[in-house]
Amino acid sequence: MFKYIYKFFDKFEDKNRMRLSHSPILYAFLTGAGIILFWRGIWHAADTTPFLENSYVSIVIGAIILLAIGTFISSFIGNEIIISGNKKEKKLVDKIVEAEEQDLAHEFEDDAKIIRELNSLKSEIVELKKILEKNKI
């Protein structure tokens, strides 16, 4: 029974994702609505449970659940940050600044190359003018 239900929803999800991938705005809207309604249901269920009315109890139970399933840290700071820290990679901001500096350096090099080419063309034009003036005389 569970296998049948799982297969049904797996195929149903695949079809919907394929259809919705062609309409990203609708896809984002439906995703946001689904997330909000899901958490709203959790919130209301917690409000109707007497021992969860205490905020501290909710915090402790929530932390225990997240720690038990291994998602406490990643849910708050994200896997990318943890992985980049383990790999001793630079922060995204530092990577962007470094890339922009490299782009500027390349632009300066390109500008200098263009200036050299223009100066070379200018000197060739001056030489051609001299040759033309000599031939006229």
Q: What is the pLDDT of residues 62-92, one digit of tens each?
A: 888 887 877 766 666 666 655 666 666 666 5
Residue 101 · residue 93 · CB < 8 Å: no
Residue 90 · residue 81 · CB < 8 Å: no
Three-class DSSP category at 129: helix
In terms of Cα–Cα distance, which of 33, 57, 37, 35 is closest to 46? 57
- CA gap 104, 50 in Å, rounded: 61
Residue 87 · residue 96 · CB < 8 Å: no
Question: In the numeric block, which tokens belong to residue 22?
Answer: 């062609």
pLDDT more than 90, % of the chain: 9
- pTM greater than 0.75 (yes/no): no
pLDDT for residue 40: 92
pLDDT for residue 84: 61
Q: How confident is the model at residue 10 (pLDDT cuts 50, 70, 90)?
A: confident
- The answer, yes or no, to whether residue 2 has pLDDT greater than 60, is yes
Query: Once rounded to an integer, what is the mean pLDDT over residues 48-61?
Result: 86
